[in-house]
């Protein structure tokens, strides 16, 4: 996720910006940059660089951080600190904005790094978020003669502010006019040479705080960036703007009316501030799912007023290849593979097209049969998983059209695939995947529903109903998170069980796989997933009073069958829990605990039923004294076989 820092005060601003950005490194980034209001000329000085912050520092100072091969990490860190201080003697000024970028539109590069400016360089902008209507705005600006330098959505903001500045002659008005035309999410910091004493900030959906110092004020994406200087902050509300001067800050609503309110006082220490007050990144990322799902969904939905009327993937050509496809082949590893298994049910149900799903490490070695009219989909959060990449290359060599679903712009998978669909989950720091999984599901469901329409297997009415249902998923995810105490309580009763089984039928058997993996990874409890109907073909032999069986139940026609499976394990002494859509008591008699998820279309409920399972895994991990963010023996990105 991008990180923003801004400063107005009397200190040399460049080191303040870079040190602030260092405190936001945990958010993940691929490039960095600063823009500083020069103290000696009427211009904004901009420096940016792809890669780690140290490359930006090296570019500014023209010196290297690591001067000898034998330099220890501690020495290199100390020298980096010295060079950061030195940047203040090179780029001089007291007002500035800085940015670490997590690429969305356009690969990581010097050019695509923020800050972005208008053509004359008199306005500079940093942005976190996604501008959904940027293509339309860009085309319009190009018609006005604007020449773009980058591939980013952010650059349109700088040019648009410039356009309105030329019309209104007032920077605040120009920013307001611009914001009224932006669709999507943003946290913004804006500088203008005509107003060298101030910094304008705004937010919608993406986080932004204002830090209040003495004779100095700050903006930042998150509290850690300002904690060294102040604990008094405004958490900017939705659609709010702030204008920062060195001695005061004015807040405004989206119509430009002044807002007056008391700042908040931050009590967190640095470690919990990085996690937004959550105890762990895993919990933070579980809680980020409503936003991640919205970010992934919204740019692909076309609305008529409040009603979703169509799905549109700007990034892929939904042409004859898709309509005439004979089969979809999905390949991935781990959690991403589980998203593929759910997708098999979705594609087959909505688009009536056969789907083969394969673990990439198997696919690559079994001389797979690929047909000309197969659509080949790889799923990878990191876009760097060795086995998934090998499978992708194999499919390409066989002449298949390869679509990648990934979370990382510029990753190897994204570069080598024919077409890429991005999940907009933002960086995932915890090793166990949570928000990447649900956003992968969101992309796959959108594809399946769209394909169902194109191939005529969904009626207009069914299509329209599914669109309304999918549009409501992020809000329902939030409702589950708002009621997590039941799961926490259940975990506190069950975290010492020696065996856990997840069971389900159809979509729910697929969700069981991912639920069991989450629990294994972070709690180290022995956990397996079975299609419920398979229990009596063997696994039931394992059931005893030390077993917990969790049934995922979102298929109303199969509730009775599933309830019979639960009775079978309960009569052998197992403790039982259901995660279900049912509100009529179908599982009340056979389950010790029932977690009800909000009413929704059963075929889409996999995006919801996983959330209680993620929380259960997280709380079991904590109760067993583990670190859920760094499970033993696991790495975030598996770049070796």
Local structure of 193: helix, strand or coil:
coil
Q: Find the helix packing angle between 53-61 and 13-23, rounded to 10°.
A: 160
Handedness of CA 494, 495, 501, 503 (dihedral sign): positive
Q: Could you tell me the smallest distance in angstroms from the CB atom of residue 517 to ligand F6R? A: 6
171 near ligand F6R (CB under 6 A): no
Q: Which stretch binds ligand F6R (CB under 6 A): 258-266, 331-339, 552-560, 607-615?
A: 331-339
Residue number, 382 or 511, with CB nearest to ligand F6R: 382
* Ranges assigned E (strand) in 3-105: 3-8, 31-37, 44-50, 95-101
Of these, 12, 31, 380, 614, which contacts ligand F6R (CB under 6 A)?
A: 380
Of these, 333, 343, 562, 566, which contacts ligand F6R (CB under 6 A)?
A: 333
Q: ∠ CA 276-278-284 to the nearest 5 degrees? A: 80
Residue number, 182 or 610, with CB nearest to ligand F6R: 610
Q: Which residues contact 203 (CB under 8 A, 6 or more apart)?
A: 186, 187, 188, 236, 237, 238, 239, 240
Of these, 100, 185, 221, 335, which contacts ligand F6R (CB under 6 A)?
A: 335
What region does 280 belong to: left with phi over 0, alpha with psi -120 to 50, or beta?
A: beta
Q: Could you tell me the smallest distance in angstroms from the CB atom of residue 432 to ligand F6R? A: 4
Q: Could you tell me the smallest distance in angstroms from the CB atom of residue 514 to ligand F6R? A: 8
Residue number, 623 or 638, with CB nearest to ligand F6R: 638
Residue number, 60 or 513, with CB nearest to ligand F6R: 513
Q: Is the peptide bond before 582 cis (omega within 30 degrees of 0)?
A: no
Of these, 117, 185, 230, 381, which contacts ligand F6R (CB under 6 A)?
A: 381
Residue window 199-228: x/- pattern of binding to ligand F6R, with contact defined by CB under 6 A: ------------------------------
Q: Could you tell me the smallest distance in angstroms from the CB atom of residue 384 to ligand F6R? A: 7
382 near ligand F6R (CB under 6 A): yes
Number of residues that bind ligand F6R (CB under 6 A): 15
Q: Could you tell me the smallest distance in angstroms from the CB atom of residue 296 to ligand F6R? A: 15
Q: Provide the 8-state DSSP code for 557.
A: G
388 near ligand F6R (CB under 6 A): yes
478 near ligand F6R (CB under 6 A): no
Helix, strand and coil percent figures for the chain, each rounded to 5? 40, 20, 40
Q: Which stretch binds ligand F6R (CB under 6 A): 83-91, 349-357, 380-388, 609-617?
A: 380-388
Q: Which stretch binds ligand F6R (CB under 6 A): 38-46, 63-71, 106-114, 330-338?
A: 330-338
CA distances from 528 to 315, 437, 521, 594, 631 (A): 37, 19, 12, 20, 18
521 near ligand F6R (CB under 6 A): yes
CA distances from 90 to 37, 41, 238 (A): 13, 14, 37
Q: Could you tell me the smallest distance in angstroms from the CB atom of residue 424 to ligand F6R? A: 15
φ and ψ at 372, to 5 degrees?
-60, -40
Task: Tell me the CB-side half-sphere exposure of residue 512, using CA atoms within 13 A.
Answer: 25
Q: Find the helix packing angle between 606-623 and 485-494, rounded to 10°.
A: 50
Residue number, 12 or 414, with CB nearest to ligand F6R: 414
389 near ligand F6R (CB under 6 A): no
Q: Could you tell me the smallest distance in angstroms from the CB atom of residue 365 to ligand F6R? A: 17
Q: Could you tell me the smallest distance in angstroms from the CB atom of residue 598 to ligand F6R? A: 25
Q: ∠ CA 331-333-336 to the nearest 5 degrees? A: 85
Q: Could you tell me the smallest distance in angstroms from the CB atom of residue 8 to ligand F6R? A: 40
Of these, 357, 432, 551, 563, which contacts ligand F6R (CB under 6 A)?
A: 432
433 near ligand F6R (CB under 6 A): yes
Residue ranges in 33-72 that form contacts with ligand F6R under rule CB under 6 A = none
Local structure of 116: helix, strand or coil:
strand
CA 599 to chain centre: 25
Instruction: Assign 3-class secondary structure to 563-612.
Output: HHHHHHHHCCCCEEEEEECCCCCCCCCCCCEEEECCCCCHHHCHHHHHHH
Q: Known catalytic residues?
A: 2, 636
Q: Give CA–CA dist 237/235, Å, rounded.
A: 6
Handedness of CA 154, 156, 161, 165 (dihedral sign): positive
Q: Which stretch binds ligand F6R (CB under 6 A): 52-60, 186-194, 205-213, 333-341?
A: 333-341
Residue nearest ligand F6R (C-beta atom): 334
The strand pairing partners of 34, in sequence order, are: 47, 98
Q: Which residues contact 528 (CB under 8 A, 6 or more apart)?
A: 499, 500, 501, 502, 516, 539
Residue number, 153 or 521, with CB nearest to ligand F6R: 521
Q: Give CA–CA dist 478/473, Å, rounded.
A: 9
515 near ligand F6R (CB under 6 A): no
414 near ligand F6R (CB under 6 A): no
385 near ligand F6R (CB under 6 A): yes
Q: Which stretch binds ligand F6R (CB under 6 A): 23-31, 67-75, 374-382, 553-561?
A: 374-382
Positions touching ligand F6R (CB under 6 A) are 333-336, 380-382, 385, 388, 432-433, 517, 521, 637-638
């Amino acid at each position: 996720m991008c990180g923003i820092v801004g400063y107005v005060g009397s200190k040399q601003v460049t080191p303040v910006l870079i040190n602030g950005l260092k405190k936001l490194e945990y958010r993940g980034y691929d490039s960095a940059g600063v823009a500083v209001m020069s103290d000696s000329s009427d211009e904004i000085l901009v420096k940016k660089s792809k890669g780690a912050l140290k490359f930006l520092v090296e570019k500014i100072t023209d010196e290297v951080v690591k001067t000898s091969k034998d330099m220890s990490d501690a020495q290199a860190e100390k020298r980096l600190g010295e060079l950061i201080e030195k940047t203040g003697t090179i780029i001089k000024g007291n007002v500035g904005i800085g940015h670490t970028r997590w690429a969305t539109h356009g690969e990581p590069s010097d050019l695509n790094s923020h800050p972005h400016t208008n053509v004359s360089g008199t306005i500079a902008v940093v942005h976190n978020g996604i501008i959904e209507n940027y293509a339309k705005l860009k085309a319009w600006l190009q018609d006005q003669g604007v020449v773009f330098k980058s591939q980013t959505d952010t650059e349109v903001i700088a040019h648009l502010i410039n356009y309105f500045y030329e019309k209104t002659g007032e920077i605040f008005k120009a920013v307001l006019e611009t914001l009224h035309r932006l669709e999507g999410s943003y946290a913004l910091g804006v500088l203008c040479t005509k107003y060298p004493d101030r910094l304008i900030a705004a937010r919608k959906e993406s986080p932004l705080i204002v830090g209040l110092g003495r004779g100095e004020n700050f903006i930042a994406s998150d509290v850690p960036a300002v904690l060294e200087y102040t604990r008094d902050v405004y958490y900017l509300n939705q659609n709010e703007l702030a204008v920062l001067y060195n001695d005061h800050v004015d807040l405004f609503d989206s119509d430009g009316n002044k807002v007056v309110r008391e700042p908040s006082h931050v009590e967190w220490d640095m470690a919990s501030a990085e996690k937004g007050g959550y105890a762990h990144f895993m919990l933070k990322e579980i809680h980020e799912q409503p936003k991640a799902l919205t970010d992934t969904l919204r740019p692909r939905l076309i609305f008529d007023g409040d009603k979703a009327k169509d799905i549109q993937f700007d990034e892929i050509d939904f042409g004859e290849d898709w309509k005439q496809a004979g089969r979809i082949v999905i390949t991935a590893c781990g959690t991403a593979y589980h998203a593929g298994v759910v997708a098999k049910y979705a594609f087959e149900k909505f688009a009536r097209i056969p789907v083969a799903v394969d673990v990439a490490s198997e696919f690559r070695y079994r001389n797979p049969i690929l047909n000309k009219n197969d659509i080949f989909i790889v799923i990878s959060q990191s876009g760097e998983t060795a086995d998934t990449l090998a499978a992708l290359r194999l499919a390409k060599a066989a002449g298949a059209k390869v679509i990648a679903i990934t979370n990382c712009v510029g990753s190897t998978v994204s570069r080598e695939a024919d077409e890429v669909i991005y999940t907009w989950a933002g960086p995932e720091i915890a090793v166990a995947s949570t928000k990447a999984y649900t956003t992968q599901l969101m992309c796959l469901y959108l594809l399946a529903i769209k394909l169902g329409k194109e191939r005529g297997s969904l009626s207009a009415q069914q299509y329209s109903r599914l669109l309304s249902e999918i549009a409501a998923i992020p809000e329902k995810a939030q409702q589950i998170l708002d009621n997590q105490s039941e799961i926490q309580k259940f975990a506190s009763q069950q975290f010492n069980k020696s065996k856990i089984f997840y069971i389900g039928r159809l979509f729910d058997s697929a969700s069981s796989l991912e639920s069991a993996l989450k629990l294994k990874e972070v709690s180290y409890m022995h956990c397996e997933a079975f299609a419920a109907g398979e229990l009596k073909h063997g696994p039931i032999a394992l059931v005893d009073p030390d077993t917990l069986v969790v049934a995922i139940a979102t298929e109303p026609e199969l509730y009775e069958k599933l309830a019979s499976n639960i009775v079978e394990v309960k009569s052998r002494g197992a403790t039982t829990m259901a995660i279900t859509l049912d509100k009529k008591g179908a599982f009340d008699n056979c389950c010790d605990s029932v977690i009800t998820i909000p009413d929704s279309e059963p075929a889409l409920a996999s995006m919801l039923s996983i959330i209680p399972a993620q929380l259960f895994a997280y709380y079991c991990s904590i109760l067993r004294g583990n670190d859920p963010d760094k499970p033993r023996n696991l790495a975030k990105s598996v770049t070796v076989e």
